[in-house]
Amino acid sequence: MNIIEIKNLKKDYPLGKTIVPALRGVDLEVAEGEFMSIIGPSGSGKTTLLNVIGCIDQATAGSVKIAGSEITALDDRAVTDIRLHKIGFIFQTFNLIPVLDVLENIEFPLLLMKRPAAEARKRAEKLAAEVGLSEYVRHRPAELSGGQRQRVAIARALVTGPDIVLADEPTANLDSVTGASILELMREMNEVEKTTFVFSTHDAAVLKYARRIVRIKDGLIEKEPVAA
């Protein structure tokens, strides 16, 4: 079953009086449990595509189905709900809540879902252990390294048991060794939790971790398949 189905997706950005077409008719299907990479040069539309899939940005035209339901015509509340329940995000900038410690950051989405505090805490502890941060659970983000913060982000993205985890260039701000370990971890989590992962990169060295690679250029997906 396809967890993501995209048909003829278009996204234009207004720029002054002109229009910048960031996506120009993307068709893409992602099967459940995939570990997929979107690669393309800077400005090719990777971020835009992930944003639309992640319900962070709205499509100009076309259809996007997440787990079978169309998301392009939903209001803010519904779309936020989908983000909370179905999608996990890992940001390039390790975006965490500075005033919360590691455990609190990981359990944050669960508390938004109004899960009981004890249950949320237990699940957060489990994920903290899985991403190798058991010793740091009481640290605040400012006290962690970039790699450690990205591990927190991975744990947070997975804590709700989402359908898809989206990661926009998750290793771009990390050195290559740390970046590699993060990708290893993501692949491990993909195997353990059976969660679909879609991550973008402009770095060909990262591609060896992907099980499926989609190339994007000038807002269009290039012909598949390019086996890894």
Partner 1 sequence: MKLLLTIAWRNILRHKGKSLVIGAILFTGAFLMTLGNGVVSGMARGIEKNVINGFMGDIVVISAKQKSDNVLLNMMGTSIEPVTDYKLIKPALAASPLVERWLPAGKNMAMLLDENSDAPGFAYLLGVDFAEYRKMFPGNFEVIEGSYPAPGERALLIPSFARDEFYNYYNIWYLPEGGRLVKANLKKEALERLDTLVLSSSVVMMGMSGGMNTTSDIRFPVRGIVRYGALNQIFGHFCLVDIESYRECLGYFTAADMSAQVTKEEKALLSLEGGGLDSLFGGDELEAAAPAAPRRLTERSRAADPADGVYNAVFIKLKPGVPYKKAVKELNAALKAAGADARAVTWNKAAGPMGSMTLIIRSALFIFVLLLFSVAVIIIVNTLTMAAMERASEIGMMRAVGAQKPFIGGMFLGETAILSAVFGGAGILAGVLAVELIPLLKISTTNDMLQLLYGGDIFRPMLDLYGVALAVFQLGVVTVLAALYPMKVAAGITPLEAIARD
Ligand X SMILES: Nc1ncnc2c1ncn2[C@@H]1O[C@H](COP(=O)(O)OP(=O)(O)O)[C@@H](O)[C@H]1O
Q: Which residues bind ligand X (CB under 6 A)?
A: 13, 15, 20, 22, 40, 42-48
Segment lying near Mg ion (by CB under 5 A), choices 41-49, 103-111, 191-199, 212-220? 41-49
Q: Would you say 30 or 153 has its CB closer to partner 1?
A: 153
Please report whether residue 47 would count as binding Mg ion according to CB under 5 A.
yes
Residues that bind partner 1 (CB under 8 A): 42-43, 47, 51, 54, 56-57, 76-77, 80-81, 83-85, 88-89, 91-93, 95-100, 104, 108-109, 111-113, 117, 156, 160, 168
CB of 12 to ligand X, least distance (A): 9
List the single partner that 225 binds among Mg ion, partner 1, ligand X, none, CB under 5 to 8 Å by kind.
none
Interior CA angle at 180 toward 141 and 120, to 5°?
Answer: 40
Say how far apart CA 114 and CA 64 lie, in whole Å: 28
* Residues written for the chain: 228
What residues contact residue 2 under an 8 Å CB cut-off, 6+ apart? Answer: 29, 30, 31, 32, 65
Nearer to ligand X, 150 or 160 (CB): 150
CA distance linking residue 69 with residue 92, whole number of Å? 27
In the list ligand X, Mg ion, partner 1, none, the entry touching 13 (Cβ below 5 to 8 angstroms by class) is: ligand X
Half-sphere exposure of 158 (CA within 13 A, CB side): 28
Calpha distance 37→205 (Å, rounded): 12
Nearest residue (beta carbon) to Mg ion: 47
135: left (phi over 0), alpha (psi -120 to 50) or beta: alpha
Q: Which two tokens stand for residue 17?
A: 């009086």
Q: Which is nearer to partner 1, 104 or 130 (CB)?
A: 104
Cβ 72 to ligand X shortest distance, Å: 17
Give the SS3 label for residue 159.
helix
Phi/psi for 123 (5° steps) reads -65, -40
Contacted by 108, from partner 1, ligand X, Mg ion, none: CB < 5 to 8 Å by type: partner 1
Q: Give the per-residue contact string, 69-88, with Mg ion (x = CB under 5 A; - = no).
A: --------------------
From partner 1, ligand X, Mg ion, none, interface partner of 113 (C-beta below 5 to 8 A by class): partner 1
Let me know: does 106 contact 157? Beta carbons within 8 Å: no
Site of interaction with Mg ion (CB under 5 A):
47
